[in-house]
Amino acid sequence: MPDVTVTTLQEMKQKGDKITMLTAYDATFARAACQAGVEVLLVGDSLGMVVQGNDSTLPVTVQEMAYHTACVKRGNQGALLVTDLPFESGASAQQLHADAVAVMKAGAHMVKLEGGAWLAEPIARLAQIGVPVCAHLGLTPQAVNLFGGYKVQGRGDAQARQLRADAIALEQAGAAMLLLECVPSELAAEISQAVKIPVIGIGAGAATDGQVLVVHDMLGLSLTGRVPKFVKNFMEGQGSVQGAFEAYVKAVKDGSFPAAEHGFSA
């Protein structure tokens, strides 16, 4: 059992204490993040891009997610460990069940699924067998081909209404946490107020209950040279990776990150 649990995060939301999350793909970085005070480690399918060098997350397999989850588990020191279920997991109910079980057995404490209200039934089924789910709304990278690129989601009244409705539906279905990616800051604030579960943001402004960044991004590492607007390089002014992790935690906790320039307008 981790020191940080779903209950811990719910209590942090109620108290207004900001939650910190970072991606991790190996034992060394997992341990360093934990030592800096990061509450949640995300084994993201972003490993397909930052570790494997692919141009999207789509090629990642559940076997690879389970492998990296096991690696992170060995370095984890009490954080809640969340693992993405890859693109192929949504093929069927049986596939989703099998993939969730695989990463949980590898060491995950929660799985993350990308999608809207249509995920309500799968989330409810997973909750019934003891698998907590973080629902991922907004820019969902597995749907990049449908979106026509990596674009802000939730702009315009219709999209905003849909995202609010999706968030509420997924909470009612049993989602334990919500992640909002590349959503206008004002909308993200409204959704964070509308649901009781913790809401983690990336490119979603400062009013969410916590923040997440891809570890390579916040260390100033990029294969492509393209840096998303919502990223801050925490290695600047630091003498070590450990110092960068500590600076990230401090900035999220004191509210200085994300600043206005890291967010998006409606």
In angstroms, rounded to a whole number, what is the distance separating the alpha carbons of residues 45 and 83? Answer: 8
Q: What is the pLDDT of residue 143?
A: 61
Is 6-262 CATH 3.10.310.30? no
Angle of helix 27-35 relative to helix 241-254, nearest 10 degrees, comes to: 50
The model's pTM: 0.95
Asked if residue 166 belongs to a known ligand binding site, the reply is no
- Assess whether pLDDT exceeds 80 at residue 220: yes
Q: Residue range 208-216: average pLDDT?
A: 98
Q: What are the boundaries of each domain within the chain?
A: 6-262
Cα–Cα nearest to 198, from 33, 11, 34, 2: 11
**Beta-bridge partners for 201:** 180, 211
Mean pLDDT for the chain?
A: 94
Q: Is 46 annotated as a binding residue?
A: yes
Task: Name the least confident of 46-55, 63-72, 221-230.
Answer: 221-230
Catalytic residues: 181
Average pLDDT over residues 78-94: 92
Average pLDDT over every residue of 111-135: 94
Does residue 148 register a pLDDT over 60? no
The predicted pLDDT at position 151 comes to: 75
Does the annotation place 18 within a ligand binding site?
A: no
